[in-house]
Structures are given as structure tokens and as C-alpha cells.
Structure 1
Amino acid sequence: MEAVSKVYGRGRGAVAALREVTASVPRGRFTAVMGPSGSGKSTFLHCAAGLDTPTSGTVRLGDTDLSGMDETRLTELRRKRVGFVFQAFNLVSSLTVEQNITLPLRLSRTRVDADWLAEVVARVGLGERAGHRPAQLSGGQQQRVAIARALVTRPEVVFGDEPTGALDTMTARDVLTLLRETVDDMGQTVVMVTHDPVAASYADTVLFLADGRIVDSMDAPSSDRVAARMTRLGAWK
């Protein structure tokens, strides 16, 4: 992202959600994005992932400039090159685990690689649940399905928007460990928006947002250091 700003509304009612944000996310790394409520975290993710168009500035995925793309091309890019994991699992209740995982491939009319599918299902620990439907799974298992669905297209980057926000502490730890393993073992790139210092401690780097700007970053974060930095973000000038 280069000098990305996002303004909602016009005139006196305009709200600047992002203000000339410049940031780069390295391949094969786990990056967390944190900030107080209203700091621009979700807008950051939506602009970076091509879900929303910046008011100004440029967004690139690898060598591809998203700025000039129409919605049809953005949709195609998101299907093939980007994975998403949200707080709400967004699974289709009438489909099995395997059918939910392969849904992005079917939507893009891409052949399912049976070996890769088996590996992804095994990695998220759902080998014995492939024929189950979401209602037969725990919340943590449903989020594992969502992660597998994000990975099955072999995306260049996986974006997580509060992916553990609806989970209890122990289940959240399992899901965060799984995301960490996708980076360490599979070379995946993960960008996660979170409000939880413990969740952020699983990342390689934390970017801190306040008032629509990146105000700090932290490598090799610990939950205590992240929490301490968060308490001072609101006072940033």
C-alpha cells in the first residue's frame, strides 16, 4: 500500500478511515494489524485485499496494481490469489466440510487437485470430518474449515479479520497455532486484523494503527509488549 487514503461520505459528513497509509507485507510472514476501535483496521484490510477501493493511493499484490481494476477483475483476483478468514465462519450450512472447502474452486471453475485437497484437510485436522456439515462441528472446527477454504486455492496471501474473535481462549490458541504453522511449514503469507494482544503475539510483526495512520510497528512481539503499546495508542499525536 502506498499513500492509501479512504474517505467515506462527502463534505462536512466525510470521515477519513485511512490517512496516507504506506505499508508493505513481506511474503512468507505473519503480520498482525492492531489498533483501538475506529482506528481503521478493517478498512486497512478491505483496501489491501481488494474488497474496497481507496479514495487515493495505490494497492499492489505482488506486481499487480489493484487501483485501476473494475469489480469483475477484482473478483477474479480475490478468487484466485487471495484467501479470507472472517470472525463469522461464513460456511454454507447445506454443504459438507469438503464441499465448503472446495467452493472457491467450483465458483472459479477450477479443477480440484485431490492430493492438495487431502493435504489441506489433513493439515487443519479435519480428515475424519470431511463428510460432516457445519452444524455437526464445534466453532473451532468450523473456523478450521474456513482456513482450509482460504488455503485450497494456494493464495498469495490470506487475510484474517478477527478470525478468533468468536472463539474461546483454548480454541483460539489452536486456530492461531494453525495459522502460524501455515506460515512456517507452507510458506503462506498471513495478514490478520485483531484486537487481542495474545493473538498478535503469534505474528512476526505487528502494525499499530491509530486515527487512520500507521503509528508504530513491532517485530517478534510478545503479548505483554503489545498490550503495553496498545494502552498508549489513544494518546498518540
Structure 2
Amino acid sequence: MRLRQPTPATTSVPPEQRPAVVLTEVSKLHPGGVRALDAVSLTVERGTFLAVMGPSGSGKSTLMNIAAGLDVPTSGTVEVDGRPVERLDETARAVLRRERVGFVFQSYQLLPSLSLLDNITLPLRLAGRTADQSWLDELIDRVGLRDRTGHRPTELSGGQQQRAAVARALITRPAVVFADEPTGALDSHSAQDVLRLLRNLVEDLHQTVVMVTHDASAAARAQHVVVMRDGRIVEGQVA
């Protein structure tokens, strides 16, 4: 169950046994005293697919931003892959995001001047690393874009662009992938392809995925679902 009181992860625990993400009593106050998160505790076990649902303003995007190290809580603790995110400065958080976190956005965010292959490997180049060719080949085959690697994003369909974005998110072998409304800009057929891909990555590769969505049919593809309202988790279930 996703709502159990989390036991803080430590770097002394073997990586394969650590939860991917642990939030403990996390609150976030915006200027003016607006409480975006209210004492949220959540553990995301490694190798699971969690969907976070809720209406606009429920706090789900704030939860994702804090869990991914894009923002810091006003109070509480956050651990990603055993590292205490709220204790890191911005430079260290940037390194953590680059090396241990993958992102998939609704708008794809592929660079139009680069080929599909260069878009997928961009996180490695920014980190000064070269691609593991066998891993790169596996990702390209898994997303079904072997014959599109030389194309630019504008030459691809929305579904193909989003599948390329999934491969880009995975190229660094992250501890967790955060997907923010990954099917929001897709037709129903392409959306199901992307959701099937995410579920298969969890089941086949033991990848951890946290997906923020307002779409109940998309959330149904996840193994676990939590529902947020007014900055709190009000419902959790095991699918």
C-alpha cells in the first residue's frame, strides 16, 4: 500500500532494496500562506508504477516537482534513491536529477534541430558521458523507432515523439521516471501505446514510474493509484 508510514531509506541499504522515492510529512507553502502540500507521506517502492490523480489545484504537480528534486519542501523530508533531496544545494540537486531521475512531459520537449537519436542521447552528452550502445539499441527497439532515428521531431507523429521522450528519460538508467500528463496531447490510440510502454518498462525492466494524470483511464494502467485533494492524499489503492 502506498500510504503506509515510510521508513526512511539510507545509503547503507543496497540500491536494489531501497524505495525509489520516500516523502515524509512533506508540506509546501507558497507566498501568501497558500498550502500546496499538507504533511504528505508517501513511499514509492522500486520497480512499481504509481499514478497520482487529482483535480487542478489538488497539489499533484507540486508533489511531483518536490519528489523529483525540481523544488524543495517548506518542511518534511524527501529521499530519491536514498539521497536526502532537501539537504542538497541546487547544483547537487541538478546532478541528482540528471543522473538518477528521468522526465516525460506532456509537450515532449524534444529539440527540433536534433535528430531523434541525438534527442534520446542528449542527457548523456550534457553529462559528458557516452551511450552504452547495447542499452541504447534496446531502448530504440522497445519504443519501436528503429527506422526513425535519423528523423527530426517535426517529421514524427505525436505518439512517436512521446515514445522518443520515454527513451530519452531512460537513457541514463534512472532510479525513477516522472511522467507529467504523458498522454495529454495524444489521440487515444497513441496514448494507449505510451501507457502500454510505461507499464512494460516496469514489468520487464523493473523501472520505477510515477505518473501524474487527471485521466482515470490512464491511471488504470498503473499498479497503484493515489488521489489528491487540497494538498493531501485522500485515497490510495492497489490496482
- What TM-score, normalized to structure 1? 0.91
Q: 1:18-29 counterparts in 2 under 5 A?
A: 18-29=37-48
Match of 1:161 in 2: 180
Provide the rounded CA distance (Å) in 1 between the counterparts of 2:109 and 2:29: 28
TM-superposed deviation, 1:142: 0.3
Of 27, 30, 34, the residue aligned with 1:8 is 30
Task: Output the CA distance in 1 between the equivalents of 2:52 and 2:143.
Answer: 24
Q: Give 1:32 deviation, angstroms.
A: 0.2
List runs of 5+ in structure 1 lacking aligned partners: 221-237
Query: Cα distance, 1:115 vs. partner?
Result: 1.2
Structure 1 equivalent of residue 104 of structure 2 = 85
Residue 177 in 1 paired to residue 196 in 2? yes
- Superposed counterparts of 1:15-164, under 5 Å: 15-164=34-183
Q: Distance in 2 between matches of 1:115 and 1:109?
A: 18
CA distances 1:84-141 after superposition (whole Å, capped 9, x unpaired):
0000100000000000000000000112111110110110000000000000000000
| SS of residue paired to 1:159 | strand
Q: Would the aligned equivalents of 2:81 and 2:100 in 1 still touch at CA under 8 Å?
A: no
Deviations 1:128-169 (A, max 9, x none): 000000000000000011000001100000000000001111
- Looking at structure 1, the residues matched to 129 and 35 of structure 2 have their Cα atoms a distance apart, in angstroms, of 39
Q: Match for residue 226 of structure 1?
A: none
SS across alignment from 2:44: coil
Cross-structure match for 1:228: none
Name the structure 2 match of 1:234: none
Deviations 1:57-107 (A, max 9, x none): 000013211111011000000000000000010000000000000000000
Q: How much identity, in percent, do the aligned residues show?
A: 59
Aligned residues between the structures: 217
Q: CA deviation at 1:216?
A: 1.1
Distance 1:112 1:167 in 2: 29
* Matched residue SS, 1:24: strand
TM-score w.r.t. length of structure 2: 0.90
What is the root-mean-square deviation in Å for CA atoms of aligned residues?
Answer: 0.6
